[in-house]
Structure 1
Amino acid sequence: MNTPLIKGLLEYSDKKNVRFHMPGHKGRTIYDLAKLIPDIDVTEVEGTDNLHNPKGVINESQKRASNIYGTRKTFYSVNGTTAGIYAAITSSVKPGEEILIQRNCHKSIYNALVIGRIKGNFIYPKYDSKNNILTIIDPNEINDILSENKNIKAVVITYPSYLGICSDIKTIADVVHKHDKILIVDEAHGSHLEFSNKLPISAESAGADIIVQSTHKTLPSYTQSSMVHVNSDRVDNDRLFKMMSMFQSTSPSYILMSSLDMAMDYMINEGKNRLEKVLNYIDEFTYKVDNLEGISLFVGDTKYIFDKTKIVINATELGLRGSDLENILRKEYNIELEMSDLFYALAMVSVMNTKKDLDKLYLALKDISNTHCKKKLKIKEDIKFLQPTKYIEIYEAFNENSKFENLDDAIGEIASDYIIPYPPGVPVVAPGEILSKDIINHIKKFIDADIEILGLNNNKVSIIDK
């Protein structure tokens, strides 16, 4: 049998790694759903309903999810949160209209501007220079922008961030609604928040208008299964449904929809109590790691709240970058994390992780603390935000011919792709923006600091070929 993909997946499975990465089921099954897959992998026949015209069991399942989250309406997305983001934005903002988005948002949000031919305005997150991490969006800055630009139709906020940082979403919702605008929240990493009062408030409870969730990231549903929640009468449900249908397959997966159905049933029966136990395990883990030499956890700040299911580990005091720590945990301890950057390694915990999982991670970190040299890693970094001049809109730049150019020769040219240093993960330049001398010099500083930069090709930048 020549099946290289299956072979690779089974080889990973055979390693029996402790999974601190997506999806939220962590390789563990609920209700033996896996055994049902051949039986439930069907199409639109009598009794199975139709996602694009739900009147039966799919409609009933979506209503149940809506009731669980306390929203007015819920749509299932089998094309992931990406499809939900596309639908939410293009149903709220028409071609040629304006939107305000978080500069460090997911790429799908930028892509929605291309698809919908929407004019983008940006708001930047705060940067914590002490901890080398992006933090919150200031509601006052949103208020100032909306006061100055009456043409903005909607605001898109990421909540919580990839690393678990939560802006004051309730105040942001109040500010956006004061200006009679629509608040869209990318809650890809927050589908679990509604199930515990020990976690930050959910965007649904905070009053956002449209919430898009990657259920599969933090709850036990299958990859690519997501939900879109409607939470106010500001939303045109008919147009949103039309866009959801447009961005989803006409052959939607009943396996994915069933996994959403099952995840909801699990959470309101067994999962909610299990989540409380997992949160206690995390507290115990955090307390123990606090006593390890050379290893620290980022646990938020008094200025904002933090989702503790995101374990953000720093080992630079041991001379280890985040990527070094991730590799050591994988190769020497069979622990697979979600991601890493220059400073941090991220372990994502879900309701399906166990005390044994967290104990194994703690013992690994303890061993690393005892065995690695205590030589602080000195990382040269110069994190600041330049605000480039927009020459043309993102969607216009996307459709232009492009070429790669040396950095020094690209001064004054127009970028045709994103340039994103990580960290901090915010585009220095977006398509359609001018590559000034200051921006080119800023990019060089990231290169000199050995910071990974997405969008460069052998230190060449993509520009519009005039």
Structure 2
Amino acid sequence: MKNIRDSHFKLHTTSPSYPILASTELGILHAKDHGEWHSINAFNLSQKLRDFIKNNTEIFEIDDVFFKSGLYFSDPNKVWIKCNLLTGKELREILCDKYGIYLSRYTKKHILINFHFGVTEECLDTLISALSQIEKNTLSRNFSLNENELSEYFVIPYPPGVPFIFPGQKISKNDINNIKKHQDEKNILIYIKEVI
């Protein structure tokens, strides 16, 4: 009891909360005993996400900028994902609203995934599953391109990934037939409205 009374005056705060102070102490002890394992785990999970994006996605890409100086260096546990067919805000909202994954940081074309001690393999699997489904839904959108209208999109069959319709191009009957042919053959058609 004396230690609690003494700590009341040693810790300067307007509202000391002993449960919070105790949990902070437990957190410090846990980090001391298990911090190395958590650090390695967070790094391994960030690498697993990088590998997944690199090898299994078409509309997402890793966009890290690595730097090192005497004063600062890049954190390998922070992963910037570029979204080629969605804005960062759109992707963030889809992840939150449809998959229950909350991200606080994003830019016009990116989201930031931050791997810390609390992130588990299950968290990463949930994110990977969500990104896979988002990509599938995004690539299968039905865009309406009509004959004799000007296209607003690049239309790119994948593979090989070479556009056959460009923004500003007048859509011909042949273009419509080409789109239908790719759809009938279950090829992926990517529609991009701006230069990436």
TMscore range, shorter length:
0.5 to 0.7
Confirm or deny that 1:301 pairs with 2:71.
Answer: no
Letter in 2 for 1:300: V
Q: Give the structure 1 partner of residue 168 of structure 2.
A: none
Give the percent of matched residue pairs that are identical in Structure 1 and Structure 2.
Answer: 22
Q: Give the structure 2 partner of residue 327 of structure 1.
A: 93
1:290 Cα offset (Å): 1.3
1:348 Cα offset (Å): 2.5
Report the TM-score, using the length of structure 2 for normalisation.
0.61
Name structure 2 gaps, 5 residues minimum: 140-189
Distance, in Å, in 1 between the alignment partners of 2:62 and 2:76 is 10
1:341 Cα offset (Å): 3.2
Cα distance change, pair 348–303 in 1 and its aligned pair in 2 (3 A): closer
1:258 Cα offset (Å): 1.6
Map of 1:301-450 to 2, 5 A cutoff? 301-302=66-67, 305-315=73-83, 317-318=84-85, 320-373=86-139, 374-376=190-192, 378=194
Letter in 1 for 2:121: K
Cα distance change, pair 280–369 in 1 and its aligned pair in 2 (3 A): same
Match of 2:119, SS state, is coil
Q: Give the structure 2 partner of residue 30 of structure 1.
A: none
Distance, in Å, in 2 between the alignment partners of 1:296 and 1:51 is 50
Distance, in Å, in 2 between the alignment partners of 1:337 and 1:259 is 25
1:271 Cα offset (Å): 3.3
Match of 1:357, SS state, is helix
* Alignment match of 1:276 (pick from 40, 56, 66): 40
Cα distance change, pair 49–312 in 1 and its aligned pair in 2 (3 A): farther
Distance, in Å, in 2 between the alignment partners of 1:265 and 1:377 is 52
Distance, in Å, in 2 between the alignment partners of 1:256 and 1:350 is 20
Distance, in Å, in 2 between the alignment partners of 1:361 and 1:308 is 18
Cα distance change, pair 354–377 in 1 and its aligned pair in 2 (3 A): farther
Contact 2:80 2:113 in 1 (8 A): yes
Contact 1:310 1:347 in 2 (8 A): yes
Distance, in Å, in 2 between the alignment partners of 1:377 and 1:328 is 19
Letter in 2 for 1:252: P
- Structure possessing the higher radius of gyration over alpha carbons: 2
Distance, in Å, in 2 between the alignment partners of 1:366 and 1:330 is 15
Name structure 1 gaps, 5 residues minimum: 1-44, 59-244, 380-466
Cα distance change, pair 359–255 in 1 and its aligned pair in 2 (3 A): same
Contact 1:275 1:351 in 2 (8 A): yes
Confirm or deny that 1:252 pairs with 2:27.
Answer: no
Contact 1:321 1:377 in 2 (8 A): no
1:288 Cα offset (Å): 1.2
Contact 1:322 1:342 in 2 (8 A): yes
TM-superposition CA deviations, 1:156-207 (whole Å, max 9, x none): xxxxxxxxxxxxxxxxxxxxxxxxxxxxxxxxxxxxxxxxxxxxxxxxxxxx
Map of 1:93-104 to 2, 5 A cutoff? none
TM-superposition CA deviations, 1:5-24 (whole Å, max 9, x none): xxxxxxxxxxxxxxxxxxxx
Report the TM-score, using the length of structure 1 for normalisation.
0.28
Match of 1:346, SS state, is strand
Higher RCO (C-alpha under 8 Å, 6+ residues apart):
1
1:360 Cα offset (Å): 1.7
* Alignment match of 2:50 (pick from 286, 291, 298): 286
Match of 1:337, SS state, is coil
Q: CA RMSD in A?
A: 2.5
Q: Give the structure 1 partner of residue 162 of structure 2.
A: none
Aligned residues: 141
Letter in 1 for 2:76: K
TM-superposition CA deviations, 1:47-87 (whole Å, max 9, x none): 20455742xxx7xxxxxxxxxxxxxxxxxxxxxxxxxxxxx
Q: Following TM superposition, where does structure 1 have runs of at least 4 consecutive aligned residues deviating by more than 6 angstroms? A: none
Greater helix percent: which structure? 2
Match of 1:313, SS state, is strand
Cα distance change, pair 284–345 in 1 and its aligned pair in 2 (3 A): same
Contact 2:67 2:74 in 1 (8 A): no
Q: Give the structure 2 partner of residue 46 of structure 1.
A: 2
1:326 Cα offset (Å): 0.8
